[in-house]
Amino acid sequence: MILCDIGNSTFHFQTSGGTFKVGVKDSIEKIFTQDKKIYFVSVNQKASQKLKNNYPNSVDLSPFIQFKTDYQGMGIDRQLICKYTKNGIIIDFGSAITVDIMKKGIHLGGFILPGFRNYQKIYPNISKKLKFKFDTDINLDKMPMKTDDAINYSILSSIILPIKNVYAQYALPLYFTGEDSKKILHFFESIPYKYKKNLVFNSMKKVMKENRC
């Protein structure tokens, strides 16, 4: 079985041999034989078409994902990772960082932040003098005294504090997914959390099982 989570910047594949990523602008025609059936979800229409052009047997799982929410414009990837969480705050680190609240099986809403790589682009675009080395090992209880620390302090605070505020408001367990999330887990040692490496793929498999795909 081949699964693919298509984001804004990557094709994220899972096969029996593990997971790997390919940029959406990179060639994908020789990764598998053309007759392979790839089950996918996508927030990137252009990349979806690219996958289907190279692998005509590919199956879009979006029509099988039934998720009730009053949130308008919620991406299919967010719907998927929330669908099987009854109670929790789900934080997905990708090109963007999404935070969604599920309580008693009801989606209460969420918010979106830039992903680490996009944060890293912001400051040098303001000024060349603001080029910096990204570092998640910084003390947020101490006011920075140099530019690199000041930028990292701002980036990490803008991500971590809203998540902690949501936890304080709802007192629900935190579920982190996405490789980049592991870089900031040490800031949540006093809060109940779990890291779920393949949350999207595991949810895709549940959808496929339910719909006998």
- Two tokens, residue 197: 């490496």
42 three-class SS: strand
Among the residues of the chain, which ranges form H helices?
Answer: 45-54, 76-83, 116-126, 147-170, 199-210
65 closest CA partner among 55, 76, 49: 76
CB under 8 Å to 72, separation ≥6 — which residues? none
Q: What are the backbone angles phi and psi of residue 37, rounded to the nearest 5°? A: -95, 120
Residue 109's DSSP bridge partners are 101
- Two tokens, residue 63: 């029509």
> How many angstroms separate the CA atoms of 69 and 63, rounded?
16
148 is catalytic: no
Active-site residue (options: 5, 60, 70, 77): 77
**Residues recognised as catalytic:** 77
